[in-house]
């Protein structure tokens, strides 16, 4: 992200604003994993729980591809993040 770091915490908030619900289960054997589900499109996204760390380029690309392929969004993840931070 050029204008500011996109942290996993920010990414998770963005996903929630897009209608994802977090389905992370305590003690599920997926240590440190965060699971997000978008019911209308049956999209599941899984991330390692990294909180305040910057989102990896691979996770940015993967998330963007999934969101666009499922028709959840059309714009790049960077513009979604920018609009989310501008509106706060």
pLDDT digits (tens, 9 = 90+) for 30-79: 567 899 999 999 999 999 878 889 999 999 999 999 999 999 999 988 88
As a whole number of angstroms, the distance between CA 83 and CA 87 comes to: 6
Nearest-Å Rg of the Cα atoms of the chain is 13
Instruction: Give the other-Cβ count within 10 Å of 32's Cβ.
Output: 10
CA 47 to the chain's CA centroid? 8
Q: What is the pLDDT of residue 24?
A: 81
pTM of structure: 0.81
């Amino acid at each position: 992200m050029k204008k500011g770091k996109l942290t996993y915490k920010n990414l998770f908030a963005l996903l929630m604003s897009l209608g994802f619900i977090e389905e992370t289960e305590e003690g599920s054997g997926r240590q440190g994993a965060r699971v997000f589900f978008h019911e209308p499109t049956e999209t599941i996204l899984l991330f390692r729980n990294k909180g305040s760390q910057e989102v990896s380029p691979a996770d940015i690309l993967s998330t963007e591809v999934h969101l666009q392929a499922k028709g959840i969004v059309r714009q790049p993840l960077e513009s979604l993040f920018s609009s989310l931070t501008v509106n706060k």
